[in-house]
Amino acid sequence: MRYHIWTLGCQMNVADSQLLASELEKRGHHAAEDWEEADIWVINTCVVRQSAEDKAYGRLNELKHLKQRHPGKIIGLMGCLVGVRDPLRLRKQLPQVDVFLPPSDPAPMIDFLSQHSAEGEAIQAEAAARAERDALQDGELLLPQHERNALISAHVPVVYGCSFACSYCIIPFRRGIEHSRPVGEIVGHVRSLGRQGVKEITLLGQIVDRYGKDIPDGPTLADLLRVVHGVAEETGIERIRFLTSHPNWMTDRLLDTVAELPRVMPHIEVPNQAGDNEVLARMKRGYTIEQYIDLVGKIRDRIPEVAIHTDIIVGFSGETETQFQRTYDVLAQLRLDKAHIAKYSPRPNTLSARSMPDDVPADEKERRRKALDDLQAQVVAEINARWLGKTVPVLFEEQHRGKWRGRTPQNKLVFVDSSENLFGRVANVEITWTGPWSMQGRLPGRQSDPAPEVIEILPIASTQ
């Protein structure tokens, strides 16, 4: 049978979709080249913001009509829309869905297919996949066929769920309490990715710095980074990243580990969400803006040439114009390398939705979002201009509009026009043009285009 997975939302969902695809292919199923040709349709959903949930329901409505014409198709609903609780609440609402899969759990789909496949088909699929499955060791992941030796960057979940409930966040309700994966399982996962050609991994957690907090005398993220770094050296993985961090759990030891290990990139994603202490208190973030500013200074002192990314929510319950201005002023003061800016939308079952009014008008939220976006575009353009004329190592991932696309250690996007095959290579690149969202360059000794095309890539939403 052929499958197609639509993935909405964060990097954790990308990793969950990859895990499901791996489990399907171990059992003899294959990705469809065209989604309409697939026998199995899966939507991996996000509900962090209302817009993401609306996209999921839009796709489900489309599949409802297709299911009526093709009743033999299998529809799976996965991720945060399902949540970790029993999906009975959705069964009556979504009769077109055959299988409900909680976040990070492919088992319901595998069980459904095992029960509904013809016996001969199941035996044939099992025989075809047995050799690959038996070769896997604890924690190892077999990439889908179309990604093997074709995927440069991959995500490795290390902490599932979250036990730190910000007042606006639905993640603890949907993904459950925090639990860390065993080190050995993570090592197996990382090692298998390196053997399949992956050159960069990103360790994921809703609060990744809390890795091991749920294990008595457990390892820390700093400990895990050292172990994973050794595996990377063995298997040819060039780069290690991690996200998303939280100001309360970013320790000196973690920062020193990042500075010390050469394959851990100088790239920190640590959201502040607002620049006003009253708003932060209503958000239940657990720190003041002064503490966040001090943390940014500490990160910059300990990690040379670090790039710091943040998340900001505008229009949170009760946010006045004066409080928003403080956020604007803090962002202007800190001059961070990227800011993921979102408009507040109340999510069901969160503290803010239950007890705080959504009292900032929609047009005012958009005005505030655009003001921060415009400010950040100017700030990042000035930051990136410092790289003009410098030579930096770039890991190339793919070709895009005829140019090679890659990223610097600071996760800055670089495009190079070259006839060489740069796929999966780390090459030194002289930066010849910079903009707020990307840069362009040339390989040493090559001439660059006289008037390079401006290619802008919008930021990807982070996990927090």
CATH class of the domain whose range is 298-385: alpha beta
Indicate if the pLDDT at residue 458 is higher than 60: no
Task: Decide if 38 contacts 75 (C-beta within 8 A).
Answer: no
Q: Match 């410092």 to its residue by tokens.
A: 386
Q: What is the pLDDT of residue 283?
A: 98
Kindly state the average pLDDT of the residues 121-149.
66
pLDDT bin (cut points 50, 70, 90) of residue 140 is confident
Q: 2-135 in CATH: which number? A: 3.40.50.12160
Task: Return the minimum-mean-pLDDT range out of 28-37, 317-326, 350-359.
Answer: 28-37
Kindly state the average pLDDT of the residues 35-57.
92
Task: Return the minimum-mean-pLDDT range out of 78-82, 228-232, 272-276, 331-335.
Answer: 78-82
Task: Decide if 155 contacts 141 (C-beta within 8 A).
Answer: no
Indicate if the pLDDT at residue 126 is higher than 80: no
Assigned fold of 138-265:
Transcription Regulator spoIIAA (3.30.750)
CA-CA distance, 243 to 321, in Å (whole number)?
31
Q: How far is CA 345 from CA 161, 181, 317, 365, 366, in A?
A: 21, 31, 9, 10, 12
pLDDT tens track for 377-431: 999 999 999 999 999 999 999 999 999 999 999 999 999 999 999 999 999 999 9
Task: Return the minimum-mean-pLDDT range out of 23-32, 228-237, 325-334.
Answer: 23-32
**Percent of all residues in the chain with a pLDDT value above 90, rounded to a whole number:** 80
Q: Cα 2 to chain center, whole Å?
A: 26
Task: Decide if 260 contacts 226 (C-beta within 8 A).
Answer: no
| Residue 205 neighbours by CB distance under 10 Å | 26
Domain boundaries, the chain: 2-135, 138-265, 298-385, 387-458+460-464
Lay out the sheet containing 99-101: strands in order across. Answer: 30-31, 2-7, 40-45, 74-79, 99-101
| Residue 394 neighbours by CB distance under 10 Å | 27
Q: How far is CA 80 from CA 19, 49, 144, 151, in A?
A: 16, 11, 23, 25
Residue closest to 459 by CA, chosen among 316, 335, 300, 311: 311
Q: What is the pTM of this model?
A: 0.91
Q: What is the pLDDT of residue 116?
A: 81
Q: What is the pLDDT of residue 29?
A: 93
Kindly state the average pLDDT of the residues 293-298.
98
Kindly state the average pLDDT of the residues 161-177.
92
Question: And the tokens for 281?
Answer: 């208190």
Kindly state the average pLDDT of the residues 247-252.
97
Q: What is the pLDDT of residue 456?
A: 39
Q: What is the pLDDT of residue 461?
A: 40
Assigned fold of 387-458+460-464:
OB fold (Dihydrolipoamide Acetyltransferase, E2P) (2.40.50)
Kindly state the average pLDDT of the residues 43-47.
94
Kindly state the average pLDDT of the residues 224-239.
98
Coil, helix or strand for 275?
Answer: coil
Q: Average pLDDT over the chain, rounded to whole?
A: 91
pLDDT tens track for 66-115: 888 999 999 999 999 998 766 667 888 899 999 999 999 999 999 999 98
Question: CB within 8 A of 285, min separation 6: which ones?
Answer: 166, 247, 273, 274
Shared fold status for 298-385 and 387-458+460-464: no
Kindly state the average pLDDT of the residues 321-337.
98
Kindly state the average pLDDT of the residues 272-286.
98
Question: CB within 8 A of 66, min separation 6: which ones?
Answer: 73
What is the enclosing helix (H) or strand (E) of 126? helix 119-135
